[in-house]
Amino acid sequence: MLDAAVFQGLSWNLLDDFRQLFTYPFMVNALEAGTIVAVMAGVTGWFMVLRRQAFAGHTLSVIAFPGAAAAGWAGVPLALGYFGFCGAGALVLAAIAGTRRSLGAESAAIGSLQALALALGFVFVSLSHSILTGLDSLLFGTFLGITRSQVLVLLVVAVATVAVTAFAARPLFFASVDSDVARASGVPVRLLGLGFLLVLGLSVAETSQITGALLVFALLVTPAATAHRLTPRPWLGLTLAVALALAVTWAGLALAYFSIYPVGFYVTSLSFGVYVLVRIVTR
d(CA 201, CA 222): 17
Q: Give the CB-side neighbour count of residue 33, counting CA atoms within 13 A.
A: 29
**Interior CA angle at 212 toward 63 and 195, to 5°?**
45
Q: What is the pLDDT of residue 278?
A: 93
Cα–Cα distance between 152 and 280 in angstroms, integer? 39
Q: Give the model's pLDDT for residue 5.
A: 43
Q: Is the pLDDT of residue 154 over 50?
A: yes
* CATH number for the segment(s) 24-214: 1.10.3470.10
Question: In the predicted model, is pLDDT for residue 233 greater than 60?
Answer: yes
Tens-digit pLDDT profile for residues 11-47: 666 677 677 778 888 888 888 888 998 999 999 999 9
Cα torsion for 100, 103, 109, 111, to the nearest 10°?
160
Which of these, 154, 144, 247, lies nearest to 203 by C-alpha position? 154
The pLDDT score that the predictor gives to residue 56 is 84
Residue 125's pLDDT is 80
Residue type, 209: Q
> Of the given ranges (213-217, 218-222, 267-271), which has the lowest mean pLDDT?
213-217
Per the CB < 8 A criterion, the answer to whether 141 and 267 are in contact is: yes
Distance of CA 59 to the CA centre of its chain: 12
Reported pTM: 0.83
Whole-number Å distance between alpha carbons of 56 and 93: 7
CA atoms 135, 138, 142, 146: torsion sign: positive
Helix H segments across the chain?
14-20, 25-50, 54-74, 78-99, 103-127, 135-140, 148-167, 169-177, 179-184, 189-211, 216-230, 234-257, 263-282
Q: Are 212 and 68 in contact (CB under 8 A)?
A: no
* pLDDT band (50, 70, 90) for residue 3: very low
Using the predicted structure, report yes or no on whether residue 214 has a pLDDT greater than 50: yes
Please provide the DSSP assignment of 100-126 as one string.
Answer: -SSHHHHHHHHHHHHHHHHHHHHHHHH
Average pLDDT value for residue range 234-254: 92
CB 236 within 8 A of CB 121: no
- Mean pLDDT in the chain? 82
pLDDT, average across residues 204-220: 76
Per-residue pLDDT, 12: 62
